[in-house]
Every structure is written in C-alpha cells, then in structure tokens.
Amino acid sequence: MEINIQTVGMTYPNGKQALKGLSLDLRSPSLVGLLGPNGAGKSTLMKLLVAALLPTTGSILVDGQPLTRVERQLKARLGYLPQDFGLFDELTVEQFLDYMAALKGLRGPRAVIRQVIRSVNLEEKARAKIRTLSGGQRQRVGIAQALLGDPELLILDEPTVGLDPEERIHFRNLFSQTAQDRLVLLSTHIIEDIQSVCGQLVVINRGQVLFSGTPEALIQTATGHVGIFWEKDAAQEDGLHITARVNTGQGVRCRAVADVLPPFAQPSDPTLEDAYLYLISQEAVQ
Ligand SMILES: Nc1ncnc2c1ncn2[C@@H]1O[C@H](COP(=O)(O)OP(=O)(O)OP(=O)(O)O)[C@@H](O)[C@H]1O
C-alpha cells in the first residue's frame, strides 16, 4: 500500500488552520512514528487518513487513487485507534469486540476475537465488563478493536497512553511485528516508543512536516549541537535549550541543545530525544 499526502491543508470550521500544505509519502511495509508537540496536527492528519475528516485543500492518494473515491474499500483494509474512543461500559470485552467485528463485516468473528484478545494480553478480562477495567486495560481493548481483521493499514493515535512500561514494550514489539508486511502509523509523545522500532520518523509542528526519515538521520542533524556543562558555568542560558538537569554531589550537571554551543559546554553525542528537541527549538526561534 502506498499513501501520498499532497499539500494537504485542514482548517476547522472555527478558523483554526491545523495543517498547512502538508506533503508526505508512506509506503508499506513500514512502521512510521509520528512525533510532534501538543497541537502540532498529528490527530488531524490521522483523521484525514481514515477519512473521518475531509481536507480543505490538497489531496490524499491511496495506491494512486483519490481517497474520496476508494474510501469504502479502504475502510475494510483499515484499523484505527482514535485518541478518544468511546467504549460501551456495560458490554464485556468480548461483546464489544463482537460488535466492532460486525461493524467491520468480519467473517468467523469468534476466532478473530479470541486472537486479538490474546495479542493484547486480555484473556483474563475477556468476560469482564468494560466499566470494571483499568485505564491501561481499556487502552488495550482499543488496540484490540484496531487489530480486528488483520488490517493492511493500522493508524494508532497515541496507542501506548496509560500503559505500564512492560506493556509498552509488549505493544512496541507487537506493532513492529505487525508492520513487517503492512503499514503502521503511530503517534506518540514517548520517544522510546519509536526509537528502536520505527524505520521512518515524521516530525510535524504547526501543521507542517519538519522532518521525515530514519531515526538515525534525525540524530545526525543534532551532531555538534548537544553539550553538557555545570549549571554554574551557564551564567546566562540564552540560546540554550536545557534537556536535562541532574543533581550530583558536585553540583547540577546540565545537558542542552543549541545552534552554537557555548565554549563552556563539552560536546556530547546526540540522542534521538536531543535531536527532536533541537529540531523543535529551531522552529521556535524562527
Ligand atoms: N474539532 C476541532 N475544531 C477546532 N480546532 C481543532 C479541532 N481539533 C483540533 N483542533 C486544533 O487543531 C490543532 C491541531 O490539533 P491536533 O489534535 O491535530 O494536534 P495533535 O498534534 O494531535 O495534538 P496532541 O499531541 O495534543 O494530541 C490544535 O490547535 C487544535 O486545537
């Protein structure tokens, strides 16, 4: 599957311009991580991709066809976890998934439902009412419904919200496996969620793509722009974006990104988080 997003703009009825001429190409198989600050336009982009919203300008092509023309066929090939999804509190996990499977028109739903319940580690809660689940368990039900029917395209808006570290690792691996032969796009604020598993990273801010490429390529962009120093050295921190402060026995050790490192900073190899923060900080000064 190939998706071409061509100079897409999205302005909400209240006049808010959430996306501004955004272009991006996505191709399976791939696990694509979508990063960006709050309000960058990530959820809006995902809603456009699942045709829950129509762009105000530009177009989206799926395998060369306009999305508007292939919307119905696409829905059958799609799994979507929105950021806020309503669950039916009085249904059990199985009943809810049964309902979602019917909406998707899936055949042999029993086996399919059992399989997704297993893949999200909810076997023990299969017969529990949704209202009795914890936040993380509810999130897993959301992921389960997105996985129903083995979709070719999976769009997951902050799938790891509310999950504990062990579960986050479980899902990271599950998404990575799923993406071996399909297209998975996931948004997150958690860098570790994408660092080790995403082949492609897309950073958006203020409705535009700031970066698209491999995590390694993003890290490269911050080479020479990351330094560490003692807090007392940084008499004035103008132009420095502090990414960490660590209290040590000898004082406060700071890590920062900057366009031009001050002489008192000792250069350090960038991490993905440094590179992301450097990219966003450059945007902020423009
Ligand atoms: N239904 C709406 N009506 C008006 N403005 C909206 C609507 N939905 C989103 N926005 C605005 O569009 C911009 C982009 O929002 P969006 O939810 O796409 O960002 P996001 O990157 O997903 O943010 P977050 O990381 O906080 O979830 C924000 O300024 C937001 O306030």
Alpha-carbon distance of 210 to 196, in angstroms, equals: 21
**Dihedral of CA 158/23/275/272: which sign?**
positive
Q: Which fold would CATH assign to domain 2-77+152-213?
A: Rossmann fold (3.40.50)
Each residue's pLDDT tens digit, 46-92: 999 999 999 999 999 999 999 999 998 888 889 999 998 777 899 99
Q: How far is the CA of 44 from the centre of ligand 1 (A)?
A: 6
Question: Long-range CB contacts (< 8 A, 24+ apart) of 277-286?
Answer: 277/241, 277/243, 278/221, 278/222, 278/225, 278/226, 278/241, 279/203, 279/210, 279/211, 279/218, 279/221, 279/222, 280/37, 280/203, 280/205, 280/210, 281/241, 281/257, 283/205, 283/206, 283/210, 285/259
What integer pLDDT is reported at residue 180 of this predicted model? 93
Picking from 99, 98, 81, the residue whose alpha carbon sits closest to that of residue 139 is 81
Enumerate the domain spans of the chain: 2-77+152-213, 219-285
Q: What is the mean pLDDT of residues 123-139?
A: 94
**Range among 163-177, 182-196, 204-218, 230-244 with highest mean pLDDT value:** 204-218
- Cβ pair 201, 283 in contact under 8 A: no
CA of 202 to the centre of ligand 1 (A): 17
The atom of ligand 1 lying closest to the CA of 14 is 4
Q: Is the CB of 207 under 6 A from ligand 1?
A: no
Closest C-alpha among 58, 52, 51 to residue 24: 58
Q: What is the pTM of this model?
A: 0.93
The reply to whether ligand 1 has any atom less than 6 angstroms from the CB of 42 is: yes
Mean pLDDT calculated for residue range 2-19: 97
Using pLDDT thresholds of 50, 70 and 90, give the confidence band for residue 129: very high
ipTM above 0.95, yes or no: yes
